[in-house]
Amino acid sequence: MQIHVVQQGETLWAISRQYGVTVTQIVTANELENANRLVVGLALVIPTPHRTHTVRPGETLWMIAERYGITVQAIIRANRIADPARISPGTVLIIPFPKPVIDVNAYTITPGEEGARQIREVGRYLTYSSPFPYIMREDGGLNAINDTPIIQASFSERVAPILCISNFTPRDPGSRLAHTILSSTEIQDRLLTNIINIIKTKGYRGLNVDFENVYPQDRELYNQFLERAVERLHPAGYFVSTALAPKTSGEQKGLLYEAHDYPAHGRIVDFVVLMTYEWGYRLGPPQAISPLNQIRRVLDYAVSVIPRNKIFMGFQIYARDWLLPHVQGQQAETFSPQEAVLRAIRYGAAIQYDPVAQSPFFRYTDAQGRNHEVWFEDARSAQAKFDTAKDYGLRGISYWVLGYRYPQNWLLLEDNFSIRKLI
């Protein structure tokens, strides 16, 4: 893939001629609704030609992979081969260039069949799926979600499902609940027994613990709970992971941060998901949701105390639209990056790009005369994040959250990485 930023007066026909591809290829890759309507600053992914190999008599995929220094799985993925044993002479195969191998996780907050559809839609790009969440109770029980269709869809896509547990809801930050559980080994034992039973019954492959807003004084109790979790789950063959607030130092103050002990989590659990998003909070002022300069500050600290092969960088895949002037507590609208592009086109708003945050944004005036500011993700910001994951040598990327159209992301993800499959 290449990225092209639309300039004043350009047409898709002219852009297609420049790169030697068809207008249809560009429209399809970017899911454009109208090939004749562009806007200045729109970042387009341009599908460029691959190198190819014509299968000779007697050749196998293994022989072809050896010749080009790539894996058989890379060829299978690039060509969507259903039966690797049946490759006929004369078949023209796309030969992808060698790419780093990473793990990719994606959370979904949509239960049932709709959540399953989301997994099937992007499952080829995922290592793990994380239906979110089972809410913990004070007695060590868990409030279940309708996750069976999601788990079934995950296995059909060779995606390993992760059981996610959490202590907070939109109505309750969960601090007192966390204290109640972390203060009692008896409650923790019941909780861990329930976790293991659900994992076994449902077919989950591991656990993701998302304790948020934990009182600072409960920091060591949280670490001890994780040690108990590992002691119970590892012998049964299950991994343990955690979700961590985006810290930039071990001394960072605040309810979100202080009880999240990066060195301890790095030592105890199998991997961590850094929640490197939500700077552009829906109730706060307009700004980039996942500014890369802030993400790099978090990563600089994280890699100093956590092994790099245990770190997932969080990546939000939604956009936000704030009314201007911003009023404290006024809620921004959340929608897909694709909808952000459509709004820019609809209102004829030139898309700008913040070189520090590495994020696109634009402003427009609606039919009621109200001013808006929109921050979102595009091909440039996705590529910048993928380059960052490579620069830091991270284990992988974790998406929050499925359900938002962002076709450029998935094309570029596959263009940059080989995605590890565990099942």
3 state DSSP class of 334: strand
Tokens linked to 14? 């002219």
Contact yes or no for 288/248 (Cβ under 8 A) = no
- How far apart (Å, rounded) are the C-alpha atoms in residues 177 and 139? 10
Q: What are phi and psi of 374, to 5 degrees?
A: -120, 130
Which of 357, 371, 358, 317 is closest to 340 using CA atoms? 317
Partners of 355 in beta bridges: none
- How far apart (Å, rounded) are the C-alpha atoms in residues 98 and 67? 12
212 catalytically annotated: yes
Per DSSP bridges, beta strands 319-324 and 333-335 are antiparallel
Q: CA end-to-end span of the chain, whole Å?
A: 28
- How far apart (Å, rounded) are the C-alpha atoms in residues 134 and 167? 9
The per-residue DSSP string of 355-392 comes to TTTTEEEEEEE-TTS-EEEEE---HHHHHHHHHHHHHH
- How far apart (Å, rounded) are the C-alpha atoms in residues 6 and 11? 8
Tokens linked to 370? 């109200």
Which residue is catalytic, options 212, 258, 339, 377? Answer: 212
Which of 362, 328, 401 is closest to 129 using CA atoms? 401
The answer for residues whose C-beta is within 8 angstroms of residue 69's C-beta and 6 or more apart is 98
Where do runs of H (alpha helix) occur along 141-184?
A: 148-156, 175-182
**In 84-181, at which residue ranges do the beta strands (DSSP E only) sit?**
92-95, 101-108, 128-131, 134-136, 142-143, 160-166
Residue 91 buriedness (CB in 10 A; 0-12 / 13-18 / 19+): middle
Kindly list the catalytic residues.
212
